[in-house]
Structure 1
Amino acid sequence: MELLQVFTDIYEVKELKDATCDRETKVHVATVQSFVRRIMYPSDSSPSPNVDDYDCVIIDECHRGYLLDRELSTIELEFRDFEDYVSKYRRVVEYFDAVRIGITATPALHTSEIFGEPIFQYTYAEAVIDKFLIDYESPHLIQTELAQSGIVWEKGAEIEAIDPRTGKRDLSKTADEVKVEIKDFNKKVITPAFNRVVCEYLAEQIDPVLAEKTLIFCATDDHADLVVQLLKEALIAKYREVEDEAVQKITGAADRPLQLILKYKNEQLPNIAVTVDLLTTGFDVQKICNIVFLRRVNSRILFEQMLGRATRLCPEIGKDRFRVFDAVNIFGVMSQFTEMKPVAVIPKISCEKLVQELTRTSDPRHHQEILPQLFARIQRKMRRANQAKREQLEAIAGLSLEHLLDDLRASKPSQLANWFRDRPDFASVIDLPDDRTIPVFISYHPDRLVAVQRGYGVAEDGSTYSTRPDEYLQLFQQFLADNLNLIPALMVAVQSPKDLTRAQLKELQMLLEKNRFRESDLQGAWRDRKNEDIAASIIGFIRQAAIGDALIPYSDRVDRAVRKIMSSRSWTAPQRQLLERIGKQLKAETIVDREALDRGAFKTECGGFVRLNRTFNGELLAVLESINEEIWRDMG
């Protein structure tokens, strides 16, 4: 704002509805999709933009271009047309002769290939330590009997299945044993018993009349309907009376989803939203305090985006942590995704295209790239083929499909190339759309809650350090013993915490975060082990584990220290007011030093350190030192 004018009053700004920019335009807000149309499919009414139209292109959520394709390997680049497979997103970004700036909280595997190496990185852990975001408690790992053993139908058992297109149900006997693991719950099998057990546990943990909001991720739209029904039943059984609007499905298939999103964001009800994909990214509701996973995802990017829905601060309701409920072992699965991986690998490449590549090349390296993809596609298409299509493929192949894939895999690449040359229709027929719908099983197996463990020390890869609080606290104590004399900041925290600087505290917090000792996990483990909910600071936990110092809520330590200092001598009214403000700031920041007094409200309202120091007759640093010394004085 300049001279009470907003940015758009000073500069020419084009908005989403504007297709082109003028010479006077300083900022143009647009979507990648709009430029895909203009650059790749120009028309008389919408010509291609000039490559020098923009000096700088800023792309928010810049990881999104990799959701449907991956980078071609060096080998593939030798025999595949790069333009066939490179993402439209990337082509748009690289079209303009401009500085390109990408912004994302969840970089994909090859984001740096477009934008270069990161010029600035600010991690989630740093944002939590700096009080810009909040952390989550050790996750609730919900374990049921069916989740542990899977759902099993013995050979010859009757199994009910539903056609997802028509809703028609059929009953048949299994030719072999059928087993569905937890990863396919609510996708390949509808299991009301499992969902009911989970919903009953959630009802014990979530009160729908509180201001906090809950976001539940389901596998399908039908699954979301089932969860809404079962959760309402569980809440009514627990609380007797529950508003019908308290629990709402918010998916693309819901009635007026945008209106529901606005209500969820701005009104008290609904305060429990059940969704599938609609609310996974780009959606902020500060009051979300509970995230529930009832579906698996195979993308670390998506997983982190889903968790990120609850990381926003909300002082209005006193939100300082959020809770995560994992009923499908998603934290365990994420440990397998140690890199940012795309969801799919060139999903639209056809069998016909792969066959063409096979018959064109004799290079063994190319064969190693082509054949696994070709066999995987043939296997997938044959599995889904209806009877008519199977008969047509068998007629072309000249043998039963039951043995076809084994025969193809046993052949040499040159033999395979000749086989496909002799049967030119095979690839085009197998690429035809499949009419067959995969039925969804219905399980009537009973289920029960076996255990709810806490995942203490969740690592970046999603794995948990320990599920036993006593073991976790022992590991923390051992870590301190092993490193006390090696890390200066740790030694200061133990021996002289009043001298700990802001930089040393952040260094210490980042080090402990790296080694899976978050403040929220230590608080949770202490609560679960001792049945005491003590909001001690990370310094308090360090001193308790290292030297047996009493574990006392940090706010209590600050209140006691400020009272002691205020009673130590006669203070003026302005001095007493400032001492109280310093106490409040200590609770929020742990360390209040000259730097803290030269920013924020202390700077704007009180004039900063120099002005405050005059109020204390030049003794402010000594006062701060006395407060910090009293905070860590033995309270026994």
Structure 2
Amino acid sequence: MKSNFAFFEGQWEMLGKLGESAERNVYQDPHTSIMKLRLFGETIAKAILASDNIREAYNTSQVDRINTMRREGLAEPEIIDVFDILRRKGNTASHEANYGKTEEAKSLLELAYQLSIWFMEVYVDWSFSAPKYIEHLQQVDTTKKQLQQKIEHLENEIEAKEKQLIKQLDVITDDTISKDVRVKRREKSQLHVKKHRLSEAQTRIIIDEKLSSVGWIVDTKKLSFKKNKTMPEKNKNMAIAEWKVGSKYADYALFIGLQLVGIVEAKAKHRDIPAALDSQTKAYARLIEEKEGITLLPANGEYKAPFLYASNGRPYLKQLQDQSGIWFWDSRTPHKHAHALEGWHSPEDLRLLLDVDDTEANAKLAEEDITKFGLRSYQQTAVLAVEKALIEGQRKMLLAMATGTGKTRTAISLMYRLIKAKKCRRILFLVDRNSLGQQAIDSLKDTKIEGLSFASIYDVKSLEDMTPDVETKVQIATVQGMVRRLFYNDGEKLPSVGQYDFIIVDEAHRGYTSDREMSDDELLFQNQNDYVSQYRRVIDYFDAAVLGLTATPALHTTDIFGMPIYKYSYTEAVLDGYLVDHEPPYLFESELAKSGIKFEKGDEVEVYDPEQGKIILERLEDELKFNVEQFNKQVITEPFNRAVLNKLTDYIDPESREKTLIFTATNQHADLVVRLLKEEFANRGDVVSDDAIVKITGSIYNPNEMIKRFKNERLPNIVVTVDLLTTGIDVPTITNLVFLRRIKSRILYDQMLGRATRLCPDIGKTHFRVYDAVGIYNQLQKYTDMKPVVKQQHFSITDLHESFTQAETEDEAEHFRNQLVAKIQRKKQKIDDAGQRRFEELSKGVPLDEWAQEIQHYRPEQAQTNSILFEYVATYQTPKELQIISKHEDEIKEVTRGYGEGNEKPADYLDGFDQYIRDNMNDIPALQLICTRPKDLTRKDLREIVTLLDTKGFKQSHLQSAWKQAKNEEIAADIISFIRQAALGEALVDHETRVKNAMQKVYALHNWTPRQSKWLDRIEKQLLQVPILAPTAEEAFSDEPFKSSGGYKVLKREFGDEIDKIVYAINENLYIS
């Protein structure tokens, strides 16, 4: 009988032979048949990648190929599923000698045939007409020996054809295809999937495999109630097909032991799934009847099974969300809507879900006293906001809290409450780098809750332990680690979708790679978009609610998590006394930074070659000029760095308890800064320990250990870094930030500033200082925290070549041609003599310089014809970029303090503030209150006015500094005093003096008891932090820091009616002229 795969001819004949071999083995040796089908799937995958000009690496696995096809959109999700099933089944057969039954092999053979038709229609012959599939019957008239001879003959043919195919694929890979062909293939692929829909029976084959892969015992043809009266068994997790419900049959009933826990409806691929769940699965769940040999769980309403599913076997796609995914609904929580899953719950997932009583968990959360966790009021509000969103069924949430306001502490308290109340079973805490993961682990060990650390109460798995145990409650993992575990793992044991039911993503903004050096882990991703795409796949993979934590939401952050459900800004934190503000920056202006570094044509310059670690001499053919943005990246300038660091030694003390963090451009730059700074302190005559000034980057030995030393020990006192310490590292003693590198990202800049915002009473820290030698503050200060970050895209030669060849208009072609020419001109400067000779071989003698001129007149079709030349230039591996060494002398010309958005002089800044207050006093209610009735001012009013002034560039710390500079008078006045001085001409009074004067009136009211005196002392300390209380005693003491100690009720009991007189006296006397 003719093989169903006989239509494969010519270069694809090997596929026909593999298909035929699988057919011939299906009855005699189904195990071999399944293994042949795995090889069949691998060979088609190789052919697809070659046909799309994607060259495989040496050790590419089938998982890699499938991921590439998925990522590049080379096949529809349904086709990807078939590839994956052939791979999984084949892998099982290769590891288990007796695996494989004839019926299973026959089903897989039919799926492989479907894959063959798709491949022919899309990649081989667009007019291909598929023959009808004919199932081969067992050949009883053929002896075993005859069959074995035929199979051996086939094997020899396959071996010969395989060698030919490897050579053919190399040729195909290099044969560039046009845009039209790519588009046509995608159209044909989509058309095929619409035309050749999988039947419900075939859909069940896919569902069977996916259910089996997560631990269900399933076989639609054998384990069927309708056909074989299959019943559940004790201690077995079974998915029984065609389970009787009333007079109907559900496609699957899920049993854990004898307990019926779920009903599944499997539809054909073209059917809408949510509708199937609503109309059919729910109907079947109502019709379930008690039966001997099964146990029904207590029903909540009319549904006799808790977990209801509908699926058509198609993987979930957001664009086709109603026709894809596994739709799931928990009938025990009717107010929560059905949602799509990436995969099936395992039996263990459902067993754990059964332990969750949502109503009881919500009640426990409400009963749990949130004040006992020692959280600040805004942290409590953040925790309660997340819990409220979870109770309402929200599945994506974002918390935006300023750096240094305790996001990790907030998250730990939230996790504890959710786990204790059994609202969540197991939580995944995702970070984007190992150092942040280690910090989270340390926090879980150190944070005490009810006298014990979190890690001693609950089992926590760290970065090294990728697989949680049954009792694990929190898993710490990196995004990179989870991506590898889920999508680049050729092993068969993947996590189930229910392994975690709550995910917290730390530093969820994660969007500034253009300014960062990529680590080895990050090179797993092609680019930032790929990172975001993969990271999104991780959080979408699990059936879990997801919370993002960030200080600086970026546009892609809100795309994933939505707008923040709660936000606590840096300005609010400073106002509330939880963070320190920074003074106006010290701007170091050097001669070279101002004028740039210039080399004349013909100059002989020293050039550093990082590849060889050598310095070579070169004579310049053209003039070269570098501005400050290129310092320490493209040009090594020791004099500039020495001049800046020499001046810096006037301001920072290496023996002080105040610590300094210096941001540099590269790893080599960091080394240079460490050496020069030590030398400059020595030149001053300062005796500085060698351990006081160190580099901490990813390149050093055990950076995590060095970070711990920086945080916990006196030395090092000055640390030089590139990227490692830009985000998420908490060292409260950091008081000085030094910028020796330019960056473009507002998000990264905010994160850098955030390293110094934390309180540190132990060293008397009241503010932090910024030293700017590269003009970064001027460049980035005008942007607000929430401004969307839209970065300029940097296209590669390959990207531009593809865009040029696919241009549809002359204007579009000219646009991409100009960019492409400019890229080629830059790249050719980096191609050495050997590389240019190889180019001439490919171009049939045309020199690279000449070709670079020719392409300025290319039409798109010419660029397509010469694709190999563009590819060669694009992929040519240039040595690491040479760095020119500058010895131009430099000196600091001026150190200034820039105030406001225009970097004004102190007097001009104060005049601008006065003018703004006078112009707006009658238009802004809070300003009117401050000027006329300050005793009626609430903290909300104060917060509003401080936030408004901050957006205009007027900060309390900057006003204080400007006053000192302009008046030669140091007065630590508060913002209210500055406003009243500007509007009313009141004398400026030190804030502490105002508080002392007002409290003296209070102390004189009564002969207070020792207990009462302690309370008054607390009130005075709070006033020193925040310049007002509130109009009434009840308002003043119903908030933190008094609320957690009993608040207004306790003070009323302690003072009686005197408490109202105390607040009245403070308000009357605090801001009197």
| Alignment TM-score > 0.5, same fold | yes
Shorter-normalised TM-score: what interval? 0.7 to 0.9
1:420 aligns with 2:864: yes
2:831 maps to 385
DSSP-derived class of the 1:441 partner: strand
Q: Aligned to 1:509, which of 933, 937, 946?
A: 946
- 1:363 Cα deviation (Å)? 6.8
> Residues of 2 paired with 1:493 and 1:121: CA distance?
26
Residues 284 and 309 of structure 1 are in contact (CA less than 8 Å); yes or no, is this contact kept in structure 2? Answer: yes
Report how far residue 317 of structure 1 moved: 1.4
1:217 is aligned, of 618, 638, 663, to 663
How far did 1:419 drift?
3.7
| Cα displacement (A) at 1:512 | 0.7
Matches within 5 A, 1:458-497: 464-497=901-934
Amino acid at match of 1:258: N
CA contact (8 A) 2:805 2:863 kept: no
Query: Residues 165, 337 of structure 1: CA spacing in aligned structure 2 closer, same or farther, 3 A cutoff?
Result: farther
Displacement of 1:185: 1.0
What is the TM-score when the length of structure 2 is the normalising length?
0.53
- What amino acid maps onto 2:503 in structure 1? V
SS at match of 2:983: helix
Q: Is the Cα contact below 8 Å between 2:800 and 2:820 reproduced in 1? A: yes
Query: Cα–Cα, structure 1 residues 291 and 631, in superposed 2: closer, same or farther, change >3 Å?
Result: same
The answer to whether 1:196 aligns with 2:642 is yes
The answer to whether 1:597 aligns with 2:1045 is: no
Matched residue SS, 1:384? coil
Once the two structures are TM-superposed, the CA of residue 16 in structure 1 deviates from its matched residue by 3.5
Distance 1:432 1:385 in 2: 11
State the match for 1:75 in structure 2. Answer: none
Aligned partner of 2:896 among 453, 456, 460:
453
Q: TM-score, normalised by structure 1?
A: 0.87
Question: Does 1:520 pair with 2:974?
Answer: no
Please give the per-residue CA displacement for 1:329-360, whole angstroms capped at 9, x wherever unaligned. Answer: 1123336978554778477x662x65456546
What's the RMSD between the two structures over aligned residues? 3.1
1:40 is the counterpart of 2:487: yes
The letter of the residue matching 2:992 is S
SS at match of 2:509: helix
Aligned to 1:125: 571
Q: Can you give the 5+ residue segments of structure 2 that lack an aligned partner in the other structure?
A: 1-415, 421-449, 516-527
Measured against aligned partners, the alpha-carbon deviations of 1:246-300 in whole angstroms (never above 9, x if no partner) come to: 2112223334433322211111111111112221112110000000000112222
Deviation of the 1:366 alpha carbon: 7.8
Match of 1:215, SS? Answer: strand
Residue equivalent to 1:56: 502
Residue 436 (structure 1) aligns with: 879
- Measure the CA separation in 2 of the matches of 1:581 and 1:99: 41
Contact 2:604 / 2:619 at 8 angstroms: preserved in 1?
yes
CA distance in 1, matches of 2:1009, 2:459: 55
1:519 maps to a residue whose letter is Q
Is 1:309 matched up with 2:755? yes
1:87 aligned residue: 533
User: What CA deviation, in whole Å up to 9, does each residue of 1:457-502 have, x standing for no partner?
Assistant: 2xxxxxx333311111011011001100001110111222222111
Contact 2:807 2:860 in 1 (8 A): no
Q: Give the aligned partner of residue 598 of structure 2.
A: 152
Letter in 2 for 1:279: L
In 2, Cα distance between the equivalents of 1:490 and 1:387?
71
Name the CA shift for 1:136/1:404 in 2 (closer, same or farther; >3 Å).
Answer: farther
Q: Counterparts of 2:1021 and 2:1001 in 1: how far apart (Å)?
A: 15
Cα separation, 2, equivalents of 1:372 and 1:12: 59
Worse-superposed segment, 467-476 or 444-453: 444-453
Report if aligned partners of 2:583, 2:770 keep a CA contact under 8 Å in 1.
yes
Whether the 8 Å contact between 1:68 and 1:346 is mirrored in structure 2 is: no
Specify the alignment match of 1:324 in structure 2: 770
Native 8 Å contact 2:998 2:1069 kept in 1: yes
* Distance in 2 of aligned mates of 1:300 and 1:280: 13
- Distance, in Å, in 1 between the alignment partners of 2:1012 and 2:457 is 45
Q: In structure 1, what is the equivalent of residue 399 of structure 2?
A: none
Cα 1:244–1:4 change in 2 (3 A) is: closer
Distance in 2, matches of 1:496 and 1:244, equals 58
Aligned to 1:625: 1064
* 2:68 alignment partner in structure 1: none
Relative to structure 1, is the Cα distance of residues 251 and 13 closer, same or farther in structure 2, using a 3 angstrom cutoff? closer
> CA contact under 8 A between 1:534 and 1:552: conserved in structure 2?
yes
The percentage of aligned residue pairs carrying the same residue is: 45
Q: Is the 8 A contact 1:146 1:447 kept in 2?
A: yes
Deviation at 1:623, TM superposition (A): 1.8
* Higher relative contact order (Cα pairs below 8 Å, separated by 6+ residues): 1
Which stretch has the larger CA shift, 94-103 or 521-530? 94-103
Instruction: Tell me the amino acid that sits aligned with residue 223 of structure 1.
Output: H
1:300 pairs with 2:746: yes
Distance 1:383 1:340, change over 3 A: farther
Structure label with greater radius of gyration: 2
Segments of 5+ residues of structure 1 without an aligned counterpart are: 70-81, 458-463
The structure 1 residue matched to 2:1055, chosen from 596, 609, 616, is 616
Larger mean CA deviation between 86-95 and 196-205 belongs to: 86-95
| Farther-moved stretch of structure 1 (47-56 vs 17-26) | 17-26
Which SS does the other structure have where 2:607 is aligned? strand
The one-letter amino acid paired with 1:598 is: S
Shift of 1:28: 3.5
**What amino acid maps onto 2:864 in structure 1?**
F
The answer to whether the 8 A contact 2:840-2:848 is kept is yes
Q: How many angstroms apart in 2 are the aligned matches of 1:269 and 1:317?
A: 15
Equivalent-residue separation in structure 2 for 1:83 and 1:488 (angstroms): 45
In structure 2, distance between residues paired with 1:444 and 1:552: 51
CA–CA distance in structure 1, aligned partners of residues 1059 and 902 of structure 2? 44
| AA matched with 2:630 | D
Q: For residues 368 and 94 of structure 1, what CA distance do their matches in structure 2 show?
A: 41
Q: 2:929 & 2:576 partners in 1: Cα distance?
A: 20
The answer to whether the Cα contact below 8 Å between 1:386 and 1:434 also exists between their aligned partners in 2 is: no
Q: Does the C-alpha gap of structure 1 residues 363 and 243 become closer, same or farther in structure 2, counting only changes over 3 Å?
A: same
